[in-house]
Amino acid sequence: MIGEFRGGPSVPEIRESAVAARDLLLQPFRLKHLELRNRIISTAHAPAYGEGGMPRERYQLYHEEKARGGLALTLFGGSASVEIDSPATLWNQIDVSTDAVIPWFREFAERIHGHGAALMCQLTHMGRRTRWDAGDWITPICSSAVREAAHNAVPKAAEDHDIVRIQRCYAEAAARCREGGLDGCEILFASHLIWQFITPRVNQRDDAYGGSLENRMRFGIETLEQVRAAVGDDYIVGVRMTGDEMVAGGLSHEDCVEAFQRIANTGLVDFLSVIGGEVFTHRELADYMPNMAWPEAPYRDLAKAVREASGLPILHASKVSTPDDAARVLAEGCADLVGMTRAHLADPHLVRKLEAGRLEEIRPCVGANYCIDRLYAGKDAVCLHNAATGREAQLAHEVVPAERSRRVIVVGAGPGGLEAARVCAERGHDVVIFEREERSGGQLRLAARAPWRADLGAITGWLEARVRKLGVDLRLGWEATPERVLDELPEVVIVATGGRPDVGSIPGSAHARSSWDVLSGDVSLSGRVLVYDEHGEHQALSCAELLAKQGAQVELATPARLVGEELGAINFAVHLRELYDAGVRLTPDHRLARIETEGDLLEAVLCNEYTRVELPRPVDHVVLEQGTLPADELYFALKESSSNRGEMDWRALVDGRAQEIRSNSSSNPSGNPAGSFQLFRIGDAVASRNVHAAIHDALRLCSRL
């Protein structure tokens, strides 16, 4: 069933069909007059890199890396605004409502065209999908005065003069795209104002713009007429729209295909971009941007039906993560061009590696949707495990060799340690990794054991394969004592030992288990289980879901006002769906005051954060999740032997300069010369954070060693 959740898939492997997939994907395609060098594109999205509404250097460098990496077309400006009452400030979008954008477009186009790729901009008016207190505080507008749940916006119903004004703004914005040297523009029908006219879920009008599908599409069709008049017949114009709202009361697949046919029959557009779902609620947003809980390319059949009905070139993107999956979309006749947008956040050089047959070097998109979740938390988009994405001005995607080789010892083969080893090896250093466990992966191995999150294992799987390919001496099952480290005569030691569960100081916590105990499978808990979360990330939610699906009666409590408070909508929506389906009791606003015992019985006492009323819970087990504490014993044991005593020059790190602190010349009890090596620690060995932080630490430190 389209949009249905599933369990965690296995990690994609390179199969024998790779050659056929490569040949199919690398075929050129002619879109109107534009010759595209292959079938792989990046679809429009909003990474929040805009500055003052303009696509300045950071925005351009991000897309330039993909153009350098070989894709055919990169669309930008997800939610690029055509008018002042659709504020570009919400996600640092591009403001196309003013001529000030034209010089930036010209610079942008020259940069992308210089690498042989095409460049287009998506244009939209967000309608009610914004806030009234953003930008210039202008009341949001919609087809009807129907509240939007995700942003709590109550819009005004568009009047006749609003319709005329906004259609004119679309046309003027499209003309700016042409004058700015872009190869085309895409008009976003989905989700935003045009769709808010089309869908009966929102449109309650009784005039010429309401009622029948023909009437509800009138606003969008008239907008296309004005856009075409503004740019001429020889300019590329496309439309992006859903192929099925997938919700009761919304447009069905058949309705959407008819809508696409009506658009195609106008002769006004040159391509159609087909997606699935809509975004009027958090749950719908999770369907709209499927994460690792979904199978690959889950909405490709929607695109196929539109392709067959419309006769126009079709762009399709929705969780197309690997070249194999992209090739299947083409081979099945679902699309002519395949969007691998999140896959290019993970590896902007995907196409060049595909061309060279180096598929094993493609850093995989694991569908974590960390990139998107950050946007909905008001932050910029970054890839969970490629720290260079969005930071191209500071960090290179291709590591530059060092002037001389150094002997580097990395302790810990989690994501931070493996990334440190990879970058050091790419730099030409002689690298050894000590890992006390028999397998690499660190905390990611635990995370990947959670229901529907198995794809996380591909992060360290890829990193381990890379370090082995680069000749790193990976010593699994080796405890890194100070003596063993110093015996290697290191010039640099990087401590990436991660953390250990923080059980906190809750009275009675000695009677509790940690989330690690559950996710590792070291313990099997049944009966009544209280999972207590002070972290707000995936760990406690994954534990609760896993235990409930194993048959336990689970309550998940947190002092936060929301379960999974630190997660964005894409991921918390999936977690909540699974927790409710599994019968987990959710108790926000309650802190675990203490755990009491009476014989073999446990009682967890919860305390309401606001009323201070205590709630006793008789339970069989308590599971605690409070983040980690640094596993830093080795670091402190080596500190006095190091040249920098473990000190990091933070300004040099941020500015992209080498670490040069030398603060130690004293003798030390180890017998080794004082100050014979530099010592650094990264990731959770410093403080409890996440995968991206550990990899970012490693990349920006080691790329300058």
pLDDT of residue 7: 31
Residue 229: strand, helix, or coil: helix
Q: Does residue 321 share a domain with residue 221?
A: yes
Q: Cα separation of 238 and 187, whole Å? A: 6
Q: Does residue 201 share a domain with residue 292?
A: yes
**Strand (E) positions, 455-589?**
473-476, 492-495, 499-501, 513-514, 528-533, 553-557, 585-587
User: In the beta sheet, which residues pair with residue 30?
Assistant: 35
Specify the range with the lowest mean pLDDT, choosing from 235-249, 527-541, 668-682: 668-682
Q: Read off the pLDDT of each residue in 71-78 and give the average, rounded to a whole number.
A: 97
Maximum alpha-carbon separation in the chain? 88
Whether residue 34 lies inside any domain: the answer is yes
Q: Does residue 512 share a domain with residue 490?
A: no
pLDDT of residue 117: 98
Q: Does residue 645 share a domain with residue 603?
A: no
pLDDT of residue 595: 98
Final residue belonging to a domain, choices 576, 602, 626: 626
pLDDT of residue 669: 46
Q: Does residue 37 share a domain with residue 26?
A: yes
Answer yes or no: is pLDDT of 460 > 50: yes
Q: Which residues contact 177 (CB under 8 A, 6 or more apart)?
A: 96, 105, 120, 121, 123, 184, 185, 231
With b for 16 or more beta-carbon neighbours within 10 A and e for fewer, the 544-554 pattern comes to bbbbbbeebbb
| Residue 420, CA distances (Å) to 67, 364, 540, 636 in order | 27, 18, 28, 20
Final residue belonging to a domain, choices 604, 626, 648: 626
Q: What is the pLDDT of residues 17-63, one digit of tens each?
A: 557 778 899 999 999 999 999 999 999 999 999 999 999 999 999 99
Whether residue 472 lies inside any domain: the answer is yes
Q: Does residue 253 share a domain with residue 112?
A: yes
User: In the beta sheet, which residues pair with residue 275?
Assistant: 242
Answer yes or no: is pLDDT of 67 > 70: yes
- Range 547-551 contact pairs with CB under 8 angstroms and sequence separation of 24 or more: 547/518, 547/623, 548/579, 548/582, 548/583, 548/584, 549/451, 549/582, 550/524, 550/525, 550/526, 551/526
Q: Cα separation of 693 and 92, whole Å? A: 23
Q: Which residues contact 1 (CB under 8 A, 6 or more apart)?
A: none
- Pull the structure tokens for residue 631: 């596993």
Q: Does residue 659 share a domain with residue 557?
A: no
Which residue carries 């305390």 as its tokens? Answer: 607
- Pull the structure tokens for residue 37: 């060098």
User: In the beta sheet, which residues pair with residue 27?
Assistant: none
Answer yes or no: is pLDDT of 9 > 50: no
Query: What's the domain range around 616?
Result: 503-626
**Strand (E) positions, 413-460?**
430-435
Final residue belonging to a domain, choices 600, 626, 652: 626
Q: Cα separation of 184 and 361, whole Å? A: 32
Which residue carries 């009807």 as its tokens? Answer: 144
HSE-CB of 220 using CA atoms within 13 angstroms: 35
Answer yes or no: is pLDDT of 116 > 70: yes
Answer yes or no: is pLDDT of 672 > 70: no
Q: What's the chain's length in residues?
A: 705
Whether residue 13 lies inside any domain: the answer is no
Q: Does residue 661 share a domain with residue 616?
A: no
Question: The domain that contains 547 carries what CATH number?
Answer: 3.50.50.60
51: which DSSP letter?
B
Tally of CB atoms within 10 A around 397: 17
Q: What is the pLDDT of residues 169-212, one digit of tens each?
A: 999 999 999 999 999 999 999 999 999 999 999 999 999 999 99
Measured in whole angstroms, how far is the alpha carbon of residue 159 from the centre of its chain?
A: 38
Q: What is the pLDDT of residues 634-664, one digit of tens each?
A: 999 999 999 999 999 999 999 999 999 999 8
Spell out the alpha helix ranges (H) of 184-265. 193-198, 213-216, 218-231, 253-265
| Residue 33, CA distances (Å) to 184, 233, 295 in order | 11, 11, 35
**Mean pLDDT estimate for the chain:** 94
CB 371 within 8 A of CB 342: yes
For residue 502, count CB atoms less than 10 angstroms from its CB and return exposed for 0-12, middle for 13-18, buried for 19 or more.
middle
Q: Which amino acid is at 510?
A: A
Phi, psi of 605 (to 5 degrees): -105, 115
Provide, rounded to the nearest whole percent, the portion of the chain with pLDDT above 90.
Answer: 90
User: In the beta sheet, which residues pair with residue 493?
Assistant: 409, 679
Whether residue 154 lies inside any domain: the answer is yes
Q: Cα separation of 381 and 390, whole Å? A: 7
Angle at 435 between CA 430 and CA 440, to 5 degrees: 100
- pTM equals 0.94
Q: Cα separation of 642 and 677, whole Å? A: 5
HSE-CB of 438 using CA atoms within 13 angstroms: 0
Q: Cα separation of 83 and 649, whole Å? A: 45
Q: Cα separation of 173 and 93, whole Å? A: 14
Whether residue 392 lies inside any domain: the answer is no
Alpha-carbon torsion, ordered 436, 438, 439, 440, to 10 deg: 20
Q: Read off the pLDDT of each residue in 538-567 and give the average, rounded to a whole number.
A: 97
Whether residue 8 lies inside any domain: the answer is no
pLDDT of residue 17: 53
Q: Does residue 462 share a domain with residue 554?
A: no
Q: What is the pLDDT of residues 293-329, one digit of tens each?
A: 999 999 999 999 999 999 999 999 999 999 999 999 9
- Pull the structure tokens for residue 430: 């002689």
- Pull the structure tokens for residue 296: 């690959």
Q: What is the pLDDT of residues 421-453, one digit of tens each?
A: 999 999 999 999 999 999 999 999 999 999 999
Q: What is the pLDDT of residues 471-502, one digit of tens each?
A: 999 999 999 999 999 999 999 999 999 999 99
Residue 131, phi-psi category: left (phi > 0), alpha (psi -120 to 50), beta (remainder): beta
Tally of CB atoms within 10 A around 601: 10
Q: What is the pLDDT of residues 380-428, one digit of tens each?
A: 999 999 999 999 999 999 999 999 999 999 999 999 999 999 999 999 9
Q: Does residue 267 share a domain with residue 157?
A: yes
Question: The domain that contains 669 carries what CATH number?
Answer: 3.40.50.720
If pLDDT is split at 50, 70 and 90, which confidence band does 569 have? confident
Sign of the dihedral defined by the CA atoms of residues 575, 580, 584, 589, in that order: positive
Whether residue 665 lies inside any domain: the answer is yes
Q: What is the pLDDT of residues 585-605, one digit of tens each?
A: 999 999 999 999 988 889 999
Which residue carries 């792989």 as its tokens? Answer: 40
Answer yes or no: is pLDDT of 15 > 60: no
Tally of CB atoms within 10 A around 59: 22
360: which DSSP letter?
G
Identify the CA nearest to 158 among candidates 229, 252, 239, 83: 83
Tally of CB atoms within 10 A around 259: 24
DSSP string, 52-65: TTB--HHHHHHHHH
Query: Pairing state of beta strands 314-316 and 271-275?
Result: parallel
If pLDDT is split at 50, 70 and 90, which confidence band does 521 have? very high
Measured in whole angstroms, how far is the alpha carbon of residue 584 from the centre of its chain?
A: 27
Q: What is the pLDDT of residues 130-181, one digit of tens each?
A: 888 888 899 999 999 999 888 888 999 999 999 999 999 999 999 999 999 9
Tally of domains in the chain: 3
**Strand (E) positions, 440-527?**
473-476, 492-495, 499-501, 513-514
pLDDT of residue 377: 85
Q: Does residue 597 share a domain with residue 544?
A: yes
Whether residue 388 lies inside any domain: the answer is no
3-state helix/strand/coil string of 118-175: EEEEEEECCCCCCCCCCCCCCCCEECCCCCECCCCECCEECCHHHHHHHHHHHHHHHH
Answer yes or no: is pLDDT of 626 > 60: yes
Q: Does residue 179 share a domain with residue 72?
A: yes
Q: Cα separation of 13 and 473, whole Å? A: 24
Question: The domain that contains 205 carries what CATH number?
Answer: 3.20.20.70
Q: Cα separation of 70 and 59, whole Å? A: 18
Answer yes or no: is pLDDT of 5 > 50: no
pLDDT of residue 89: 78
